[in-house]
Amino acid sequence: MQTAKREIAVSMSNISKRFGPVRALENANLEIVRGSILGLVGQNGAGKSTIIKVLAGIIKPDSGTIVINGETVTALSPASVEKLGVHFIHQDRLLVPTATVGEAVFLGHEIGFGPFVSRRAMERRAADLLQRFFGLELPVGTLVKDLTTAQQKVVQITRALAQKASVLVLDEPTAALVKREVDSLFDVLRRLRDDGIAVVFISHYMQEIEKLCDRVTVMRNGTDVGTVDPRETSVEEIISMMIARDVGEMFPKRSVTLGAPVLEVANLRLGGGFENIGFNVRAGEIVGLTGLLGSGAKEIVQCLFGLKTADGGLIKVEGRELSLSTPVKAVRDGIAMLPEDRRAHGVALGLSVRENISLASLRRYSKSGLVSRGSENQAVDGLIKELSIKTPHRDALVRELSGGNQQKVAIAKWLSCQSRVYVLDEPTVAVDVGAKVEIYNLLNRLAGEGAAILLLSSDLLELVGVCDRVLVVYRGRLAGTFSGPSMNSDALLAASSGARPDADGVAA
Amino acid sequence: MSVSANSPKPSLRAFLAKYSVLIAFAAIVIFFALTSPTFLTPANLFNVLVNNVVMLAIVALGLTIVISSGGIDLSVGVSVDMASMVFVMLLAAGYSGVVGVGGGLGAALVVGILNAILITRLNISPFLATLGVLFIGQSTQQLATSGGQPIYLTSGYASDQFNAIARTALFGVPTPVIVLIVLSIAVHVLLHRSVFGRYVQAMGAQPGVAWYSGIRVPRELSMVHVLCALLAGVTGILLSATVKSYVPLSGNAFLLDAIGATFIGTTLSRERKPSVVGTLLGVLLLAIVKNGLLLVGWNFYWQQVGIGLLVFLVLAVSFGLRRATH
Amino acid sequence: MSATTLHTEAGASDETRATGKSAGRRFATLVVRLGAIAAFAAIMAYFVVFAPGFTSTFNLINVVEQSAILGVLAYGMTSVIIGGGSDVTEGGIDLSIAANMGLCAAVYATLLSMGCGDFLSVLAAIAVGMAVGALNALAVVGLGILPLLATLAVLNVAAGMELTLTQNTVVGASSPLLAFLVSGSFLGISALAWALIVFSAIIIAIIHGTAFGLRLYAVGGHPEAARAAGLSVPFYVSFTYVLSGFCAAVASVLTVSRLSASTPGSGELLLSVLAAALLGTVFSRRFVPTMGGTLLSVLFIGLLANGFQLLNVSSYWVNGVQGALILLVVAITSFARGSEGSR
């Protein structure tokens, strides 16, 4: 990398932005260099997304200067930014689901004659670009909604490339991609860099940052706290810049004595999902569950909450055999579920903290069908205090809470039910480091109080840091159980991808 | 993030947005009180209450439940008509009033169950399911009445039963008003105080969360639609008892006003949730404007323009100001 | 440094599974569409065999003529649904369209009866229709009122103004334009039928042939994506409501020509308009509202009424069959969507 003669594509300096009393950005700086990949990291709320939105012309900064291609620009708008060659690949797949690939790639820049479009030309050009950059061949006229998540991401990038982007900003582009796709995406980004394009890469995955980026800008509390070369700075150092404390503190240590088995699963099978799954989780134990996408791990969790009905096998909670065909039954039988999609399934944003917390346990606080507000308020206040949920009052809408606090409300809902078994499905996805630590602490406390916890996660560091034991599922079967010293991310990764397990055993 | 929740700047705009309905209501009452000498007389207000409020309000109560659950019921008119039709037919055939009321409510129940099956078993969206039922219900009525012939009940025909419903009073309060009061309190308790009501709110806010919280969503949703149809059925019976006849396809007149009233009521809440109090206020507002315009000499046709403009303005102020404060 | 996050190893099995899934889904969708279309075809076949004179040219042109008004209105409604998204409670809908037509017809007939010329009267009708559309646009786009509510209020305003203007009476009208529409013909096809054909051709070309139409679909299908692509969502949504008002005005001229008068009660058309626009989605490969699909379902509704008439079946069945068809189509659709929903 040439350090002497760097061509600066975008330079943002002293950007400040307030939302009411909240300081989102405070004299933040960002420098994007041509022919280089810049990593942008920071916890949620650190200002990453705000500064990117300022650059995208979505948010107007209160002060600061922005220089693009040597020219100071004022009054940015999404359209004017694109004209300057700065393109954004948003985290949400911003594509029209019912459009064809060609229509999606050229939306707003259609090919045709006068007002009329040539669908054939657009499809052909799009197919051409996809083939050239990604080696991807799709049937002509494929609809966006029929694409996999990764293919949609690829179409989004193709969109920017079709418009001759000179600066490409990617917000969490790998979140939904499989490994091979991540690799090919990285190849594409490197190729674009070598062609002189400036790339900004925002990611929570530190290893990706380390692997891909030439420079990393770390943000904290609305400002940039430093720009480092990832080849000279370790991931641990970068993380401590982000959270301003030691990484070791992320996974709080605990010591519990395990009780009797609370959740027992034997011979569980689901056609097309998994078979012969057997394990148990004891009181006070945190058991991890992991596997690649499509391995069947997700389906096991869904069967335990009645979202899917197993074709055979036994599920027992505290010795009682259950038939779980709907969540209704699972909840009644003391199983709690923290779903992956918090906004769709975890908490209702439009309801108050109180209504969310008592939702699954209303019968406790009611007499002859009527809710007794006194006992409900008392219980809710207790839980808000116990979990230190940061909310102005119990009747505030969950929408107004931060992501971490929303997740705590979702947990409080099950505490209110006095559930014995907690099934967690990727509870820390898209949660920033600080909130992660709080959730880990909470899990430890739950376990300490005698709950049985099953944690489905694809974050291997998290599994190793939090769990007493980790079960690995490979192609629908338990490929190994790991605990103690054998439980490390290398071993978990190997077992997940089908290598011979160096595990404690296959069934617990 | 949580800071924004208690940023205590009670701006004028937010105030106006929240209370736009109440302000409009007060302004309209004052306006008519000043321009029409008869407006504020007890006799007139009583007339408004009995003739313009009761029946619409009961239909609107049902819609309030449905809209709270995140759905809609376009077939309330069919429930009104079916109840009215069966009620009148049974009385005409010489059955007693009790059988007539039972039969009428039974007919409405059938409509509600049909909606419930379409929505919860066949997974059709409430809008389309009830639109389909609306079409079928209209056909059914036309076929049953050879194209829409009204059924009149000549006086003497079970007139006692009619009088028992429409023309009597308890402590000077007419029976229909008592029915409305009882039903309003019942629906209020059900929607805002009961476990069922909480489930309805949860389904309206985020159905996925309700399902993942162990709520029997299909069962509760069925109940919602059955209740709505039954309430509309009550209106159907009151309607035919008042006009002593069944006029096919007359129930549809309630649909738009009831939806309008319910949504006017939602402007009272920050999250735009329907409420019984809000709905009743919406119905009153519509009724008073209709009556007031009549008193100041606007004919029936202008009334409709006036109502439309009023609803438009209330919605505009409420939605517009809220958007501006966001 | 070892990887600490599991991304799927994308083996060949994953690839085939993904494409296999989407192929299966596409097959299910195809079955649903073909099933619905087969149901339509079966009804038509029944009429062809059993309804006397159903297939005669005269009868078919008659059906096209009868469908002209519904068709033009349904185009307006379809454009609003395309631009506002097809979520029925939150998305685009124009409940005022039929009442708007009634108002325009009243204005048109009244001006003609006052002695104004065709040109002026038609212009006034179109101005009124587009003004009502603009009012909807203002409410929905400018003030952010739910379309369902906004157009409901405007429905009342338009219907009330029609009543005020006509005092709920029939306003007779005659003019050279009306005479031409009723009795003129070209290539053996009447002017009224031509009106539908030409209007269809223009609107299909605009919505399905131009970049504008393409962008309109994007605005309705995913407003965020449209915004990110630099499109002005408010402009496109406003356009659909004004277009809907324009369609109402055009339909008003057609209805006055058919009846030689403006008559009260045009609001009753609303449900059929809605049904036509919604049913039309089954004719689309992507399950979205399309102008072609709307035209087909309008003709289908017209043929249904016509077939019943020829078979001497009471016309009171038409509504019911229409309702049952909506339910059937939507139930099958949601069934197919449900089976693909595991994604």
Closest residue on chain C to A90 (Cα): C228
Q: Tell me which of A87, A140, A146 to substitute to probe the interface with C (most C C-beta atoms closer than 10 Å).
A: A146
Asked if the C-beta of A179 comes within 8 angstroms of chain C's C-beta atoms, the answer is yes
C-alpha distance from B207 to closest chain A C-alpha (Å): 8
Q: Is residue A37 left, alpha or beta, with left meaning phi > 0 and alpha meaning psi from -120 to 50?
A: beta
Mean pLDDT over B282-301 rounds to: 82
All chains having 3 or more CB pairs closer than 8 angstroms to chain A: B, C
Q: What is the pLDDT of residue B117?
A: 92
Q: Which of B11, B191, B209 to mutate to test the interface with A (most CBs of A within 10 A)?
A: B209
Q: Quick one: pLDDT band at residue B106, thresholds 50, 70, 90?
A: very high
Q: How much is the average pLDDT of A130-145?
A: 78
CB contact under 8 A, C6 and A493: yes
Domains and CATH numbers, chain B: 16-62+73-320 (1.10.3470)
Rounded (10°) CA dihedral C324, C326, C330, C333:
100
Torsion of CA B99, B104, B106, B109, to 10 degrees: -160
Q: Do B7 and A20 touch (CB under 8 A)?
A: yes
With CA atoms as reference, the chain A residue closest to C11 would be A180
Q: Do the chains contact at C153 and B302, CB–CB below 8 Å? A: no
- The pLDDT tens digits for B26-85 are 888 888 888 888 887 888 888 888 778 999 999 999 999 999 998 889 899 999 999 999
Q: Do the chains contact at C214 and A107, CB–CB below 8 Å?
A: yes
Contact (CB, 8 A) for C115 and C235: no
User: Could you report the per-residue pLDDT of A205-223, keeping only the tens digit for each?
Assistant: 777 888 888 899 988 878 8
Answer yes or no: do C274 and B131 touch at CB < 8 A.
yes
Q: How many angstroms separate the CA atoms of A308 and B213, rounded?
A: 15
pLDDT in tens, C87-113: 656 778 888 899 899 999 999 988 888
CATH class, A260-334+419-501 region: alpha beta
Q: How far does Cα A146 stand from its chain's mean position?
A: 22
- pLDDT attached to residue B76: 94
Q: B72, B123, B262, B267: best mutation site toward chain C, by most C Cβ within 10 Å? A: B123
Task: Give the DSSP letter string of C286-315.
Answer: TSS--HHHHHHHHHHHHHHHHHHHHTT--T
DSSP-derived secondary structure letter, B163: I
pLDDT at C133: 94
B1 in reach of chain A (CB within 8 A):
yes
Closest Cβ–Cβ partner in A147, A294, A490 for C14: A294
Q: Which CATH superfamily is domain A8-250 in?
A: P-loop containing nucleotide triphosphate hydrolases (3.40.50.300)
Mean pLDDT, to the nearest integer, of B260-285? 85
pLDDT at B108: 95
| pLDDT the model gives residue B109 | 96
Domain containing residue C74: 61-297
**Please, which pLDDT band fits residue B233 given cuts at 50, 70 and 90?**
very high
**Domains held by chain C: number:** 1
Q: Is B285 on the interface with C (CB under 8 A)?
A: no
Nearest 5 degrees, angle CA A218-CA A219-CA A220? Answer: 130
pLDDT at position A36 over 80: yes
B312 touches chain C (CB under 8 A): yes
Q: Name the range with the highest mean pLDDT among A242-246, A366-370, A416-420, B221-225.
A: B221-225
Q: How far apart are CA A99 and CA A105, in angstroms?
A: 9
The proportion of chain B whose per-residue pLDDT surpasses 90, expressed as a percent, equals: 31
Listed residue (A379, A416, A415, A411) closest to A394, CA to CA: A379
The candidate with the shortest Cα–Cα distance to A89, out of A60, A125, A136, A52, is A52
| Chain A: residue whose CA lies nearest to C218 | A96
CA distance, residue B40 to nearest chain C CA (Å): 26
A433, A434, A439, A444 alpha-carbon torsion, rounded to 10°: 100
Chain B: touching chains (3 or more CB pairs < 8 Å): A, C
Mean pLDDT, to the nearest integer, of A142-163? 80
**What pLDDT sits at residue A310?**
85
What percent of chain A lies above the pLDDT cut of 90?
6
* Any C CB within 8 A of A97 CB: yes
For residues A83-87, average pLDDT: 85
pLDDT bin (cut points 50, 70, 90) of residue B110 is very high
B215·A390 Cβ contact <8 A: no
In angstroms, the separation between the Cα of residue B305 and the nearest Cα of chain C is: 4
Number of C-beta neighbours around residue B257 at 10 A: 22
Rounded to the nearest angstrom, the gap between the alpha carbon of residue A120 and the centroid of all alpha carbons in its chain is 37
C72 vs C70: CA distance, rounded Å: 6
**Interface mutation target, options B1, B269, B326, chain A, most CBs of A under 10 Å:** B1
Q: Looking at the complex, report in whole angstroms how far the Cα of residue B321 sits from the nearest Cα belonging to chain C.
A: 8
C231: CB partners within 8 A, 6+ apart: A107, A108, C215, C218, C219
In this structure, is residue C175 part of a structural domain?
yes
Assess if residue C43 is contained within a domain: no
pLDDT in tens, B72-82: 898 999 999 99
Q: Is the pLDDT of residue A481 over 60?
A: yes
Residues of chain A with C-beta less than 8 angstroms from the C-beta of B218: none
> Chain A contacts of C227, Cβ < 8 Å?
78
List phi, psi (to 5°) of C108. Answer: -60, -50
Tokens describing residue C289: 């509202």
- Give the tens place of pLDDT for each residue, B136-193: 898 888 888 877 788 887 655 555 556 566 666 666 677 888 889 999 999 999 999 9
Q: Are C228 and A90 a contacting pair at CB < 8 A?
A: yes
Question: Using the beta-carbon criterion (under 8 Å), do B308 and C316 form an inter-chain contact?
Answer: no
Task: Say whether residue B149 is in contact with chain C using an 8 A CB cutoff.
Answer: no
Annotate C42-88 with DSSP letters as a single string.
HHHHHHHHHSTTTT-HHHHHHHHHHHHHHHHHHHHHHHHHHHH-S-T
Residue ranges covered by each domain of chain A: 8-250, 260-334+419-501, 346-418
Q: Is residue C101 part of a domain?
A: yes
Averaged confidence pLDDT in chain A: 82
d(CA B75, CA B131): 6
- Which parts of chain C register pLDDT below 70? 1-30, 32-33, 86-89, 333-343
pLDDT at position C131? 95
Cβ atoms of residues A295 and A475 within 8 Å:
yes
Q: pLDDT at position A244, please?
A: 64
